[in-house]
Amino acid sequence: MERKKKILLEGRGPALLDVITYRLTGHSPSDSGSYRSKEELALWEQEDCLKGYAAYLTGNGIAGAGDLAKLKEEVVRRMVRVLELAISPEISPFIDTRRDSIGELMFSNRKVERFEEREPEVLLPQAENPRLKANERKSRSGLDESGKPLPKAKVLAYRDALFEAMLHRFYIDPTMVAYGEENRDWGGAFAVYRGLTEALPYHRLFNTSISEGAIVGTAVGYAVCGGRVVPELMYCDFLGRAGDEVFNQVSKWQSMSAGVLTMPLVLRVSVGSKYGAQHSQDWTSIVAHIPGLKVYFPATPYDAKGMLNLALAGSDPVVFFESQRLYDIGELFVKEGVPAGYYEVPEGEPAVRREGRDLTIISIGATLYRALEAAEELQSRYGVSAELIDARFINPLNYEKILESVRKTGKVLLTSDACERASYLQNMAATIAQAAFDELDGPPVVVGSRNWITPGADLEDAFFPQKSWIIDAIHERLLPLPGHQPATDQSVGEMLRRSRQGV
């Protein structure tokens, strides 16, 4: 301690203090301690830190034996009182588990503009931001007046929309920080943060080591201490490296603390493609399985900004998925384009992207655009009117619009880039089947990615759902299309064959 204190006082810190301690009793009541001898325990009992500190106090005339006895008596009295309060059914009754009591504690569902009332530390006025000025010269819509797509260089893209949401909150909440691999340099990962480096001091936006556990773990600590934090994992595939932090820490502290703590943490996670087996996986279903996490997956620039605004205005943990396929696309669905000002997308509400009467197609993430291609071909070639719904949210998710559509069409297909087995689509399909069983003409159909490791870019069309897969699945399992010649086998028999093979 003396050596470390000297280092700190000289301004050469921080310093690591490696402390060895010893557990005198077992980790649990079932731990009999048979792996250590009585002699070993006796030696460590002589090194009891409480006894040693008591001897230090008395030896230096700071406290007498009577003082320490009174202190021990007071500690015991307090501990007994705490125990009584904890176990008394009158004072501390059990919650009513017939209600959703524990569930009600998982999310605070509060809006918090800022966590401290002080001026945010910035490097230049928001209006002078060079990227914001560049955005002003772009079309807020991805379509021209005749409805034709504009060149990507001329439109406000998905990544630009994310940037605007981040910039807005940085200039309002002085506690907000963001960090991850290459977040500050080169415009951040996939150029989402280009323009933030000029606007923010390093301690509000900085680079980290390639350590997903450290990135999310420190974010948990910052959030429970009262700050807003946006950690980023550059690839969804490495979510497992932060598994405990995401699944046991981010998700649980609000409920475990009975709402005393909040978790204003937005974990940005990109879902890759083109980069093979370890960099191109959609793990939304894994995250969706964990109670206590909100899960968003915007597929359009309008939603990217509005949903990130929503996440950054709250005090709950949000895992915010983004597809690398979408970063450069413009807004194709909202006619007016992406608003320049602040707005939020209503939480949990899916969006109807195309109205139809014959069948319902539901998508999550980037597969929206493949589904749109399929819907357009179904209409032009077969006269089939498909209603297309973008789920946008995975948790929470309001099924009202989905069920309204399914009850109208009687047929539903669900699609996303996640591997088909145990994907969140399967959960949605089961929910729809139970809630709209009497109105369905047949069981819901799920079209996901193959249950393989993700292949390299040149083979991705055989892995991720394609327009032809969606149309073939509709023909095979929902609605026979006159004269249609399937390009792929999407039959129930093929589905069962793959299951037998584990693929």
Catalytic residue positions, numbered:
279
Question: Residue by residue, what is the 3-state secondary structure of 376-435?
Answer: HHHHHHHCCCEEEEECCEEECCCCHHHHHHHHHHCCEEEEEEEECCCCHHHHHHHHHHHH
Whether 242 and 217 have beta carbons less than 8 Å apart is answered as yes
| Cα–Cα nearest to 317, from 241, 223, 232 | 223
| DSSP 8-state assignment for residue 360 | E
Whether 382 and 482 have beta carbons less than 8 Å apart is answered as yes
Whether 345 and 392 have beta carbons less than 8 Å apart is answered as yes
How large is the greatest C-alpha to C-alpha distance in the chain, in angstroms?
A: 99
What single-letter amino acid sits at 137? R
DSSP-derived secondary structure for 257-306: TTTSS---BEEEEEEP-SB-TTT----HHHHHTSTT-EEE---SHHHHHH
| Cα–Cα nearest to 323, from 368, 366, 294, 284 | 366
C-alpha span between 91 and 70 (Å, rounded): 28
| Cα–Cα nearest to 188, from 243, 131, 227 | 131
Geometric angle at alpha carbon 174, from 184 and 136, rounded to 5°: 60
C-alpha span between 314 and 294 (Å, rounded): 11
What single-letter amino acid sits at 175? T
C-alpha span between 209 and 438 (Å, rounded): 54
Geometric angle at alpha carbon 410, from 404 and 416, rounded to 5°: 80
14 cis-preceded (ω within 30 degrees of 0): yes
C-alpha span between 225 and 204 (Å, rounded): 16
71: Cβ contacts below 8 Å, ≥ 6 apart: 63
Q: Which two tokens stand for residue 441?
A: 């003409």
Residue 293's CB: how many other CB atoms inside 10 A? 24
Give me Rg for the CA atoms of the chain.
28
Note every long-range contact of 457-464, with CB atoms under 8 Å and residues 24 or more positions apart, other chains counting. Answer: 457/273, 457/274, 457/275, 457/276, 460/273, 460/274, 460/280, 464/273, 464/367, 464/417
227: Cβ contacts below 8 Å, ≥ 6 apart: 115, 175, 176, 177, 264
